[in-house]
Structure 1
Amino acid sequence: MILDIDFVSDFVCPWCFLGKTRLARAVEQVRTSHPELEVRINWLPFFLNPDTPAGGEPYRPFLEAKFGGRRGADDALARVAEAAAPDGLHFAFERIKTRPNTLNAHRLTYRAQSLGHTQALITALGEALFAAHFQEGRDIGDIATLVDIAVANGDDRDEVQDYLDSREDVATVKRMAAQVQKQGVSGVPFFILNRKLAVSGAQSTATLGAAILQSLRND
């Protein structure tokens, strides 16, 4: 039994990190009744702020401008942290100095998928990118940082360095993000299950599990 999931997200979206965490838990719960389940996740790019400078921008000033000042920014971060705590997911927002441009991070996941890396390696890479930004405060717009993350998750340093130093797949990733929006996806996270059922937002583990089961019944 196969479950195909299109996971639309951006690596600077905290709700996407939470959504991915809940998705993993939902899949494990479904596997208790469907141990033969094979899951294939297709990571699709989304740019929350496509005009982010290539070198990124200061994190707190961005948040305060977006949420109407320091209190608004603090409240927004607190809501995410409170929502994520029951799932065992902890954010270290205070460690983040830069809001990065995520084009190259999306290129990394696209490359891993196009080269046919295993689902385990692709998932590990995606989750490491989230963790690097939200828990470690690393700049995932920085090529050297991205190379280190890729290598730590089983990739070849020289190959990744050459790839990120080039313009390979830049147009492809941008086109994919544009196509996703043309299909009506205006916010993330967004999940498409077996190309039949769509779930928007960081829904609960139970909701995602129920949607997965429904998508499997429709096969």
Structure 2
Amino acid sequence: MDNPILEPAGEALRVDVISDVVCPWCYVGKRQLEAALARWREAHPGAPEPLVRWHPFQLNPDLPEEGVARADYLRMKFGTPDPSSIYQRVGAAARAVGLAPEFEKIARQPNTLRAHALVGAAHGEAQQAVVERLFRAYFMEGADLTARDTLEALAREAGLSDEAIREALDGEGAQQAALGDTEARRLGVSGVPFFVIDGKLGVSGAQGADALVSAFEQARGG
């Protein structure tokens, strides 16, 4: 199957975002993307509304389905269970874009495959709402994204129907999310966020609105 991320763009600017819902830099990158798109719209009045699509990437694909205790995960990955030293730099970047993550509230490091399945079940503005709700739940509220009832409640709050939620969690949603993760890695993506503009130009990392606007203009031949 051809990777949809590499599809030729249409009349509207298209941004494919490869990310994980437990990646703090991805949440920062989302805000930077929103700022960049606002500037693009202002500079191109009358242009079609940009299309943003979210794609899965698991930072920790080997975690068990039920996840692990956050302190154990931090100790295993960073050598310390104290998030304050780990997140000093990303915390400053988050505050610079209007976010106030509360890392100390996070008690569990989840396997994110089912969360990605919910993102994949939505499209357009509904997908933006699901992504935002999952980010906010994890980083602001310390929500346990391994708990099915939590995932269902968050998806409903974001506007997904019960039928779409069931299909995502009980149907082929997880399988499709795993396939999307594999396709991203085949593109050479090894870290997130990763933005692909119009299927042809990549921006790696949360580089800021200026870098994204520049990529938009380059991809559009401006």
Structure 1 position 100, deviation (Å): 0.9
1:135 aligns with 2:140: yes
Structure 2 residue 79 is the aligned partner of structure 1 residue 75: no
What SS does the corresponding residue of 1:23 show, helix, strand or coil? helix
User: CA 1:41/1:64 → structure 2, altered by over 3 Å: closer, same or farther?
Assistant: same
1:206 alignment counterpart: 210
Instruction: Find the residue that maps to 1:175 and give its secondary structure.
Output: helix
| Distance of 2:200 and 2:169 partners within structure 1 | 37
Match of 1:55 in 2: 66
1:161/1:125 CA distance change after superposition, 3 Å? closer
Fraction of identical pairs, as percent = 38
Pairing of 1:99-114 with structure 2 (within 5 A): 99-113=109-123
The root-mean-square deviation of aligned C-alpha atoms, in Å, is: 1.6
Q: Structure 1: 5+ residue runs without aligned partners?
A: 114-118
Q: Determine the C-alpha separation between the residues in 1 that align with 2:195 and 2:62.
A: 24
TM superposition shift of 1:189? 0.4
- Runs of 4 or more off by more than 3 Å in structure 1? none
Q: Is the 8 A contact 2:20 2:58 kept in 1?
A: yes
Deviates more, 1:37-46 or 1:2-11: 37-46
SS state at 1:89 partner: coil
- CA–CA distance in 2 between the matches of 1:98 and 1:30? 38
- After TM superposition, the score normalised by the length of structure 1 is 0.90
My pick for the range that moved more, 182-191 or 162-171, is 162-171
When the two structures are superposed, what TM-score results if normalisation uses the length of structure 2? 0.89
Say if 1:9 and 1:189, in contact at 8 Å, map to a contact too. yes
Instruction: Give the 5 Å matches for 1:1-219.
Output: 1-35=11-45, 36-70=47-81, 73-113=83-123, 119-157=124-162, 159-217=163-221
Check conservation: 2:120, 2:177, Cα contact below 8 A.
yes
Describe the superposition over 1:136-191 as per-residue Cα deviations: whole angstroms up to 9, x where unpaired.
1111222111111111122223x145325524232222112111101100110000
The answer (yes or no) to whether the contact 2:118–2:173 under 8 Å persists in 1 is no
Q: Which segments of 5 or more consecutive residues in structure 2 lack a partner in the other structure?
A: 1-10
Measure the CA separation in 2 of the matches of 1:165 and 1:7: 22
- Give the distance between the partners of 1:177 and 1:22, measured in 2 at CA: 23
